[in-house]
């Protein structure tokens, strides 16, 4: 599945380079217009990141998310600094299809296990931002990518697989925002090891060839952000490429 993405800050569509708020590009685009364009191009799901909420949980853009969910003809997956059961509950009540939980899944596994039990695996996507270390293993990063834990993605997945976890979004930090291709080896590894999971690739896609390679890697979905914003290709073209890979 092709999943178009927009990152929101102060209601504006923006993109960060490797998660750095000091390297922020503002796009003079209307968020709802982007969603409607994606829908007309054939998208079945939209990914929205609340950057303000990720930076400060007291500045969550709930009003904007509510507006977009209500007006959107396609389901919305959203996250950004989710740190409590209440955050998840509010977003689901606003009509969000899936809530994306990132660092919280690493730092508070028992609470997140409770969230999966309460709301069900269909409503939750666990997002893992990883750094590949010298040993070749993917270690999960925290605190807005500023710190890398000593826990591999395999170790953290073990905590949740027994709860019928369905959706994981995986980003190689070194690739995000760099427009130099994705980490196809990482997605191939995950697809072979966890063939029952919806593995959503993210970061680095800059061309239709990158889309094709991501599909061939075994990832079941891909989030596309900057490449669409910069007009490298359209959602319609990406869908056709994915289906024909």
Task: Give catalytic status of residue 50 as yes or no.
Answer: no
The active-site residue, picked from 7, 52, 172, 210, is 7
Task: Give catalytic status of residue 195 as yes or no.
Answer: no
From the list 61, 124, 40, 43, the residue with the least C-alpha distance to 88 is 124
Q: Are 97 and 76 in contact (CB under 8 A)?
A: yes
CA distance 184 to 54: 27
The active-site residue, picked from 129, 172, 176, 210, is 129
Residues with active-site annotation? 7, 129
């Amino acid at each position: 599945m092709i999943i178009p993405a927009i990152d929101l800050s102060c209601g504006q569509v923006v993109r960060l380079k490797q998660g750095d708020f000091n390297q922020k590009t503002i796009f003079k685009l209307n968020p709802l217009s982007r969603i409607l364009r994606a829908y007309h191009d054939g998208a079945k799901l939209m990914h929205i990141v609340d950057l303000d909420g990720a930076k400060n949980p007291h500045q969550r853009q709930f009003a904007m998310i509510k507006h977009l969910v209500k007006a959107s003809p396609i389901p919305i997956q959203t996250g950004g600094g989710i740190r409590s059961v209440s955050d998840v509950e509010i977003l689901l009540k606003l009509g969000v299809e899936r809530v994306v939980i990132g660092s919280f899944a690493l730092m508070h596994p028992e609470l997140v296990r409770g969230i999966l039990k309460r709301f069900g695996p269909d409503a939750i996507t666990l997002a893992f931002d990883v750094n590949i270390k010298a040993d070749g293993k993917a270690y999960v990063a925290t605190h807005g990518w500023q710190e890398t834990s000593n826990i591999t993605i395999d170790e953290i997945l073990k905590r949740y697989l027994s709860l019928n976890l369905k959706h994981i979004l995986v980003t190689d930090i070194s690739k995000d925002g760099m427009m130099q291709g994705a980490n196809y080896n990482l997605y191939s590894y995950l697809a072979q090891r966890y063939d029952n999971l919806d593995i959503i690739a993210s970061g680095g896609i800059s061309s239709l060839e990158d889309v094709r390679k991501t599909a061939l890697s075994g990832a079941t979905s891909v989030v596309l952000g900057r490449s669409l914003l910069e007009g490298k290709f359209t959602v319609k073209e990406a869908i056709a490429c994915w289906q024909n890979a």
